[in-house]
Amino acid sequence: MVIVLSVYAYHEYVIYKTPPLLNITYPKTEYTKYYKNKINISGKTNPGDKVTIEGYKISNVSLNGKFNTTIGLLEGINKIQITSTNILGITNKQTLLIYYTNKITKLNKKKNTFYITIKDNNSPTYIDASIGSKTIYNHILDTGKTVTLKGIYEIILNVGNLQNIEILYNKKIVPVSGNGFSILVIKFENNNITISKSH
């Protein structure tokens, strides 16, 4: 009995010392573009664990750990942190970046089409590029290699290490400072591009 109880107690201790489950079911990606000023966030944690979004406790966590809530968005990039905490205070955190814009316009694809070239100068770097919800590039770019991407008005670019790459438009380097993982919003307007950055 002592051995059985000891094994059980150790098993329970290991479970509670392990960071709790935190599975975000919507939105399905860590970065998404949204055209409404409110978004529903849903997911699942372990039964009995506490969930907070931006520090506010979610009260409607079900008995099986499912939760959902709706939060408001500000124009631009919204950084939303979701935290699950178990009874020992062990936490698991995820961060969503929601890019909200209320400007929905019909695009003239030909007029708003542009090309950028990404060159890797230092070491292999993860690159993920998307137009809206469509992924146009998702690979590790090797040292010395380049990739040319075609955009329509806007490209969302996830870069594994910003200091490793150069971004060129019309064969000219577009200045972008910083290092480490970065999310770039590359917009094409008036035959020129602008880049905004969020870490």
Instruction: Kindly state the tokens that stand for 98.
Output: 């929601």
110: left (phi over 0), alpha (psi -120 to 50) or beta: alpha
* pLDDT given at position 166: 93
pTM, to two decimals: 0.49
70 and 132 part of one domain: no
pLDDT on residue 151: 86
Residue 153 included in any domain: yes
Q: Please tell me whether residues 32 and 69 are part of one structural domain.
A: yes
Last residue of a domain, one of 51, 73, 100: 100
Domain containing residue 81 = 19-100
Residue 97 binned pLDDT confidence (cut-offs 50, 70, 90) = confident
Same domain membership, residue 84 and residue 150: no
Residues 50, 86 share a domain? yes
Q: Is 10 inside a domain boundary?
A: no
CATH number at residue 138: 2.60.40
Q: Report yes or no on 7 lying in a domain.
A: no
Q: Does one domain contain both 183 and 119?
A: yes
Q: Is residue 8 part of a domain?
A: no
Residue 4 has pLDDT above 60, yes or no: no
User: Which residue shows structure tokens 């870490």?
Assistant: 199
**Is the sign of the CA dihedral 166, 76, 27, 43 positive or negative?**
positive
Number of separate domains in the chain? 2
Residue after which a domain boundary falls, among 36, 67, 100: 100
- Does the pLDDT value for residue 90 go beyond 70? yes
pLDDT at 123 over 70: yes
Do 120 and 185 lie in one domain? The reply is: yes
Give me the pLDDT at residue 107, please: 43
Q: Which residue has the higher pLDDT, 101 or 136?
A: 136
Which CATH number does the domain housing residue 79 bear? 2.60.40.10
